[in-house]
């Protein structure tokens, strides 16, 4: 249990203040990163920002004002400040002194940049003293402008364990003498795991992967199966609807259970008829439409409370050795390696600790613990959620399952079917950035897949997505999935992208 102690009188903690400027050309609205070191040249040497451990002594400052800013921060006072941050309140009480012991104090003079656009930063910054401004990058034919100011008790930045980190999208500049407490990337493990940032731990050897458990079905009778586990991965936005990829994967699994050995799925086509609910048991009824010498066809219905929510047709084929007619006109796109791209969770947490986000919003979301996703996802084209910038309706995503899957190819087919619904429909909204601030109804309507070559869903796959058309509250998306430089699966999907204009209007049903 986290204990909350009163804040000492001399420790002032204030909420972030969002500054709205009427003119981007005003003096306060311009980005003016002053050359503070040059300005101080007449009073002393170029020292740059001072960095020291909280518990260690600090060098004398070149001036009385600078010296006051360089006084060491008492670790006990630092712990009091740490207890007030919702970001850290999910941690065990005994972890706060350990964090305080490794914090660094960093000092900045007026006009000095703390972090800059397109730089990683050094970790998690907690403002102990002073005031800073957050300045957005200049746009075409305009100067940059001040987005907000931050004071004591606010924080920004992210301490991440991996080499792939998100870059800052704004400058953070000291307005007054500023002292920050810094938790560097070296100590990110103090915050990760099952604590505030839910980066999953490595799977225990021999432990069944989470996605493989999600795919499990119980046979009720011939051609009838049902889900026999509670929802293992819940939508972080408290959406009560079943994730569409789960319906696709489980229906495909049910179909595979009725096909003779030696047949491999080569295509599926499905429709979402009603939104399935997480807390309602789902039955999958399989119709053996055809069993031929080369092909087999299955029709699957998903039912909840006796009503059909989803239908799928899957076609299976015996593999052939013939390579008489073979080509591929879609080579793998140029993409950074997955190790060079930040995890989806890191992108999300970077958003929640972005210096442009007001403290009140940070506090609101800091206590929300996200479930562990069954997939490790790395977005190559994540974009900036704070800027209403029109982007091309295409993106690239690396993904694989968390944990190793069994060798059964059926498991890998179904796992990839599950993943194929991730991020696909949102591709159609990338060139309509106002959707980020709108009430939307976003639902999959249909989903088709063609399986070309064998693959492993627990190894990295590259998902290239594009949306060539949108209109009539619908978006049309296509995807190509590659592994080891080869096209292994092609995907298509149409979905609803309906903007809800009336704030009092409830989300419409299908």
Distance CA 233, CA 426 (A): 20
Q: Which two tokens stand for residue 45?
A: 């040497």
Q: Which two tokens stand for residue 40?
A: 């101080």
Q: Which two tokens stand for residue 317?
A: 């084929």
Residues 6+ apart with CB under 8 A from 58: 50, 52, 70, 71, 72, 105
267 is catalytic: no
- DSSP-assigned letters across all residues of 153-195: T-EE----SSS--PPPSSEEEESS-EEEEEEEGGGGGGTTTTT
Q: Which helix (H) or strand (E) holds 347?
A: helix 344-352
Task: Compute the residue count for the chain.
Answer: 510
Q: Strands (DSSP E) along 242-330, which ranges?
A: 264-272, 283-291, 295-304, 307-317
Distance CA 312, CA 273 (A): 11
Contact 289, 280 (CB under 8 A): no
Q: Which helix (H) or strand (E) holds 37?
A: helix 36-39
CA-based nearest residue to 316, from 249, 245, 410 = 410
Q: How far is CA 111 from CA 63, 73, 120, 269, in A?
A: 17, 22, 20, 59
Contact 477, 426 (CB under 8 A): no
Distance CA 42, CA 36 (A): 11
Given 136, 250, 304, 444, which residue is catalytic? 444
Degrees to nearest 5, angle at CA 234 with 228 and 240: 90
SS3 category, 27? helix
Distance CA 317, CA 125 (A): 57
Q: Which two tokens stand for residue 193?
A: 């795991």
Given 315, 373, 483, 493, which residue is catalytic? 493
Q: What number of other Cβ atoms are within 10 A of residue 383's Cβ? A: 15
Q: Which two tokens stand for residue 251?
A: 């229906």
Degrees to nearest 5, angle at CA 146 with 143 and 150: 160
Given 421, 428, 458, 483, which residue is catalytic? 421
Q: Which two tokens stand for residue 322?
A: 């013939």
421 is catalytic: yes
Q: Residues with catalytic annotation?
A: 421, 444, 493
């Amino acid at each position: 249990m986290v204990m909350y102690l009163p804040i000492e009188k001399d420790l002032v903690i204030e909420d972030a203040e969002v500054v709205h400027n009427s003119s981007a050309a005003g003096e306060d609205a311009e980005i003016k990163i002053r050359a503070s070191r040059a300005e101080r040249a007449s009073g002393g040497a170029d020292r740059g920002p001072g960095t020291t451990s909280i518990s260690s002594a600090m060098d004398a400052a070149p001036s009385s004002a600078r010296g006051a800013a360089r006084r060491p921060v008492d670790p006990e006072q630092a712990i009091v400040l740490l207890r007030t941050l919702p970001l850290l309140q999910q941690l065990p009480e005994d972890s706060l002194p350990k964090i305080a012991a490794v914090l660094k104090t960093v000092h900045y003079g007026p006009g000095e940049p703390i972090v800059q656009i397109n730089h990683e930063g050094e970790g998690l910054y907690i403002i102990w003293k002073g005031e800073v401004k957050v300045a957005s990058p200049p746009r075409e034919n305009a100067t940059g402008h001040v987005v907000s100011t931050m004071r004591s008790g606010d924080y920004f930045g992210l301490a991440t364990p991996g080499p792939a980190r998100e870059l800052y999208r704004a400058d953070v500049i000291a307005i007054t003498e500023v002292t920050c407490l810094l938790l560097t990337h070296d100590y990110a493990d103090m915050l990760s795991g099952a604590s505030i940032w839910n980066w999953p731990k490595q799977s225990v050897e021999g432990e069944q992967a989470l996605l493989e458990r999600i795919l499990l079905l119980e046979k009720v009778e011939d051609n009838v199966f049902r889900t026999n586990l509670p929802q293992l991965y819940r939508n972080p936005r408290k959406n009560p609807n079943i994730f569409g990829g789960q319906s696709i994967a489980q229906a495909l699994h049910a179909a595979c259970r009725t096909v003779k050995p030696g047949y491999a799925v080569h295509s599926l086509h499905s429709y979402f008829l009603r939104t399935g609910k997480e807390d309602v048991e789902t039955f999958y009824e399989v119709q053996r439409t055809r069993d031929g010498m080369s092909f087999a066809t299955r029709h699957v219905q998903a039912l909840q409370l006796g009503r059909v929510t989803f239908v799928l047709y899957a076609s299976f084929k015996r593999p052939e050795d013939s390579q008489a007619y073979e080509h591929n006109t879609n080579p793998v796109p140029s993409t950074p390696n997955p190790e060079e791209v930040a995890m989806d969770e890191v992108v999300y947490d970077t958003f929640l600790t972005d210096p442009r986000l007001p403290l009140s919003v940070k506090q609101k979301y800091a206590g929300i613990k996200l479930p562990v996703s069954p997939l490790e996802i790395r977005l190559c084209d994540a974009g900036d959620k704070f800027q209403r910038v029109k982007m091309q309706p295409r993106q690239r995503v690396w993904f694989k399952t968390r944990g190793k899957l069994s060798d059964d190819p059926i498991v890998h087919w179904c796992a990839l079917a599950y993943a194929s619904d991730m991020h696909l429909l949102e591709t159609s909204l990338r060139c309509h950035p106002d959707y980020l601030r709108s009430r939307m109804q976003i639902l999959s309507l249909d989903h088709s897949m063609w399986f070309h070559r064998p693959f492993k869903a627990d190894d990295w796959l590259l998902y290239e997505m594009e949306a060539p058309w949108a209109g009539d509250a619908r978006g049309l998306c296509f995807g190509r999935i590659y592994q080891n430089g080869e096209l292994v699966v092609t995907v298509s999907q149409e979905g609803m992208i309906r903007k809800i204009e009336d704030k009092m209007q409830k989300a419409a049903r299908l």
